Amino acid sequence: MSSDSIVVHETKRLNGEVTVPGDKSISHRAIILGSLAQGKVMVTGLSSGEDNRRTVKIFQQLGVIIKKRGPAEYLLHGKGLHGLREPGSILYAGNSGTTMRLMTGVLSGQPFFSVLSGDASLNARPMKRVVTPLREMGARISGRDGGNYAPLAIQGGKLQAARFALPVASAQVKSAIVLAGFYADGTTMVQEPVPSRDHTERMLRYLGAPLEVSAAGLAVTGGGELKGDLIEVPGDLSSAAFLIVAGLLVHDAEVLVRSVGVNPTRTGFLEILQNMGARIELLNMREMSGEPVADIRVRAGRLTGVTINGAIIPRTIDELPILAVAAAYAEGTTIIRDARELRVKETDRIAAMCTELKKMGADIEAQDDGMIIRGKESLSAAVCTSYGDHRVAMAMAVAGLAAQGETRVEDCACIKTSFPGFMNCLQSLMG
């Protein structure tokens, strides 16, 4: 297997225990908030994915001393909210939308100039939904197409508090506004139509931030400071999702994934699978740095189709590609609606999943905001591509485990952005 392709065969058995990388979303926030805290902060369980390494590199460019102390342990010498320095070169976010959007919020309040850029894929993703509210707070941000596309040039400065009712639930937009709110005069309010993942709020409360969460939304008051000496990052549910679905689809399977974050704003994926009839158990429930954590055990079993729409979509947006794979093997019809955001991820995930699963014989139909999937008892192996999208790559590899024959997934170097050890985990379960 080369780094650019994955070959999988129909697999009869999966069994064992595995761990997955630290949660990618929480890892970003641990680096950002740890760097903005007062004093030294040890971060354990940090994801080794390329996206998180980009965030680490950016803060090093901003003058934060970050030392690696172990495979997933980093010691951050926090600079406080006002201790960052002007970078001497462009801040490169690679393929990480979280890095770019959250850093736009942080940099808007700094007393210096900076430029954020990314790879070709990231620079083609829309940024206006972050840029527009930040401009309303007084941020001076310019970019291509009026600031809709990176590179983004940010002349930081003093911001003014504002109130926002977001038209679409987005943890990245919400977090960017909240981070900018620390540098604003007054109290900034953010409301969402439905709750999105709340990792930023949980970590801010854990670090003692002046943040209020209520039915009216979030309120953050400018000033204050963040304090803490340890942030523990749980395993990434979005990474575990691929191993969980593999455990459901392979005929003779029992898989245990240790120490996975089960934040209620992220567990829509598990709820959907349970509604499909999946045999899933959450064991040893506990808390790490404000985040709920559990061991997840899954056993193979027959799935049935469901409708996935509405408020659960923001809680499962990153897992929809692998849910499409589960639906392709389920009995009956699965309908995914209200998920148009999939069109503007690392690739158009609706088009990508429909195209690639059709190659395997799946009965799947693209919709403007989702898919209609009529499940089949079996699919056939095919040569597939990832379109440079890590979640598409891993989803198609899992699809191949239950397909007849040998499946090749090309352009898989992208997997290292979130789950560098993905194939090693799968192979350990194959025994």
Dump pLDDT digits (tens) for 95-124.
999 999 999 999 999 999 999 999 999 999
In a domain, residue 318? The reply is yes
Does residue 209 sit in the same domain as residue 275?
no
Mean pLDDT (whole number) for 168-186: 95
Does residue 364 sit in the same domain as residue 417?
yes
Q: Are 296 and 281 a contacting pair, CB within 8 Å? A: yes
Q: Name 367's bridge partners.
A: 370
Does residue 215 sit in the same domain as residue 238?
no
In a domain, residue 224? The reply is no
For the cut 80, the answer to whether the pLDDT of residue 234 exceeds it is yes
Q: What CATH number is associated with residue 105?
A: 3.65.10.10
Summarize pLDDT for 281-308 with one digit per residue, the tens: 999 999 999 999 999 999 999 999 999 9
Q: Which of 219, 252, 275 is the last residue of a domain?
A: 219
pLDDT of residue 94: 96
The residue among 374, 306, 315, 318 whose CA lies nearest residue 342 is 318
Q: Could you give the CA distance from residue 377 to residue 281 in angstroms, rounded to a whole number?
A: 25
Does residue 265 sit in the same domain as residue 403?
yes
Q: Are 278 and 248 a contacting pair, CB within 8 Å? A: yes
Residue 285's region, left for phi above 0, alpha for psi from -120 to 50, else beta, is: beta
pLDDT of residue 417: 84
Residues near 156 by beta carbon (within 8 Å), at least 6 away in sequence: 107, 108, 109, 110, 111, 112, 113, 114, 139, 140
Two tokens at 128?
């206006």
Summarize pLDDT for 318-327 with one digit per residue, the tens: 999 999 999 9
Residues near 39 by beta carbon (within 8 Å), at least 6 away in sequence: 77, 78, 227, 229
How does DSSP assign 147-211, residue by residue?
Answer: HTEEEEEEE---EE--EEE-SS--HHHHHHHHHHHTTEESEEEEE-SS----HHHHHHHHTT-SE
For the cut 70, the answer to whether the pLDDT of residue 1 exceeds it is no
Please state the domain count of the chain: 2
Q: Band the pLDDT of 160: cuts 50, 70, 90.
A: very high
The residue among 211, 322, 310, 202 whose CA lies nearest residue 262 is 202
Q: Find the farthest-apart pair of alpha carbons in the chain and give their distance in angstroms, rounded.
A: 62
The residue among 230, 200, 234 whose CA lies nearest residue 21 is 234
In a domain, residue 225? The reply is no
Core vs surface per residue 83-101: b (16+ CB within 10 A) or e? ebeebeeebbbbbbbbbbb
Summarize pLDDT for 356-410 with one digit per residue, the tens: 999 999 999 999 999 999 999 999 999 999 999 999 999 999 999 999 999 999 9
Query: Mean pLDDT across the chain, nearest whole number?
Result: 95
In terms of residue numbers, what domain contains 332? 5-22+234-430
Helices (H), 300-389: 320-328, 349-359
Dihedral (C-alpha) 421, 27, 121, 240: value to the nearest 10 degrees?
Answer: 40
Among residues 23, 236, 318, 389, the one annotated as catalytic is: 318
Residues near 210 by beta carbon (within 8 Å), at least 6 away in sequence: 220, 221, 223, 224
In a domain, residue 322? The reply is yes
The residue among 388, 396, 382, 394 whose CA lies nearest residue 414 is 388
Q: Could you give the CA distance from residue 192 to residue 246 in angstroms, rounded to a whole number?
A: 34
Q: Which of 187, 219, 251 is the last residue of a domain?
A: 219
Residues near 280 by beta carbon (within 8 Å), at least 6 away in sequence: 244, 270, 273, 274, 296, 297, 298
In a domain, residue 64? The reply is yes
Q: Could you give the CA distance from residue 269 to residue 239 in angstroms, rounded to a whole number?
A: 12
pLDDT of residue 3: 54
Please compute, for residue 347, the number of CA atoms within 13 A of its CA located in the half-sphere on the CB side: 18
Summarize pLDDT for 126-138 with one digit per residue, the tens: 999 999 999 999 9
Q: Band the pLDDT of 12: cuts 50, 70, 90.
A: very high
Q: Which of 162, 189, 219 is the last residue of a domain?
A: 219
Q: Are 209 and 220 a contacting pair, CB within 8 Å? A: yes
Q: Band the pLDDT of 312: cuts 50, 70, 90.
A: very high
In a domain, residue 44? The reply is yes
Q: Could you give the CA distance from residue 246 to residue 243 in angstroms, rounded to a whole number?
A: 5
Q: What percent of the chain has pLDDT over 90?
A: 91
pLDDT of residue 322: 98
Two tokens at 428?
């350990």
Residues near 67 by beta carbon (within 8 Å), at least 6 away in sequence: 74, 75
pLDDT of residue 315: 87
Look up 119 and say whether it is catalytic.
Answer: no
Does residue 205 sit in the same domain as residue 292?
no
Does residue 256 sit in the same domain as residue 208?
no
Summarize pLDDT for 63-101 with one digit per residue, the tens: 999 999 998 999 999 999 999 999 999 999 999 999 999
Q: Could you give the CA distance from residue 350 to residue 226 in angstroms, rounded to a whole number?
A: 40
Two tokens at 332?
């009956």
Burial of 2 (0-12, 13-18, 19+ CB in 10 A): exposed
Please compute, for residue 375, the number of CA atoms within 13 A of its CA located in the half-sphere on the CB side: 22
Look up the pTM and report it: 0.86
Q: Are 277 and 207 a contacting pair, CB within 8 Å? A: no
pLDDT of residue 179: 97
In a domain, residue 368? The reply is yes
For the cut 90, the answer to whether the pLDDT of residue 311 exceeds it is no
Distance of CA 427 to the CA centre of its chain: 24
For the cut 60, the answer to whether the pLDDT of residue 35 exceeds it is yes
Does residue 115 sit in the same domain as residue 152?
yes
Side by side, the strands of the sheet bearing 217-221 are 163-165, 187-191, 217-221, 211-214
Two tokens at 51?
């996206």
Mean pLDDT (whole number) for 345-356: 95
